[in-house]
Amino acid sequence: MNIFLRPGEIFVSKNPVMVTTILGSCVSVTMFANRLRMGGICHARLPHGRGANPLDYVDTAIVCTARILDRMGVKRDETKVKLFGGAEVLNQVCGSGKSVGRRNIETALEMIEGLGLHLSGRAVGGSLGRKLCFQTSTGWVSWTYAGSDFESERNTTAPEADVILAKPSSVISGTSLPKSCACPDGHRAGPSGGGTSSIGKRGIT
C-alpha cells in the first residue's frame, strides 16, 4: 500500500505501508519500534498554534504520534526517531525573527527531548525542499533534495498488521487518547472540508 501524507496529517501503522510526503519549511518526524515492527509519521507546518487542526503544529503533531504508539505498546526508549525538513524556502519569520523552517526544527528537537525520545538521525535545514518516503513496518526512510541524487537507509522487513490513526481533537486535552482514536482501514488524521478537524476517509492504493 502507498499513501501521500499531506500537511497537518499523521499516519501510524504496522502494515507495510509506504508513506510519501513533500517537505519545504514543514517538518516530518518518523518513529519506529523494531520490536513491534510499527511506525508512524507526522507532517506539520508551523511550530506552535491553536488553529482548527492541531496536527498542523509541530508540538501537538509529535505528541499525538508518540501517544498513539504508547497506546499500542511501544516503549519510548525503544523508539527510533528521525527528523526531516525545515528548509528555508519561504521569506517568512516567526516572532523570534527566525525562519519558519528553523523554528520548526527547534520545536521538533525540543519536543523529542521532552518526550524522552532519542533522535537517531536527521536531515534538516538548507534551502531546498525534500521528498520523503517512509516504510511504516520496517522503519526504512529515503529522501532526496530537488535535483539531487537519491539517498536512503534501510532496516529490516516486517509482517502486516492493523493501520491505526488518531483523531486530531485527541491532542487538545493533553491527556490519554480515547478509544475513538484507534480507527482501522486507513483513515486520515487531519482537516476535512470546511477547515474543521475530523477524521475523514483517506485513499489507500
The per-residue pLDDT for range 95-129, each reduced to its tens digit, is: 667 899 999 999 999 999 999 999 999 999 999 99
Judge contact between 58 and 33, C-beta under 8 A: no
Which carries the bigger pLDDT value, residue 62 or residue 171?
Answer: 62
Identify the three-state secondary structure at position 3.
strand
Sign of CA dihedral 103, 109, 113, 114: positive
Please report the domains of the chain, with CATH numbers, ordered by start residue: 2-147+158-187 (3.30.1330.200)
Which pLDDT tens digit goes with each residue over 31-79?
Answer: 999 999 999 999 999 999 888 899 999 999 999 999 999 999 999 999 9
155 Cβ contact partners less than 8 Å away, ≥ 6 residues apart: 32, 34, 138, 139, 140
160 Cβ contact partners less than 8 Å away, ≥ 6 residues apart: 14, 15, 16, 137
Prediction pTM value: 0.75
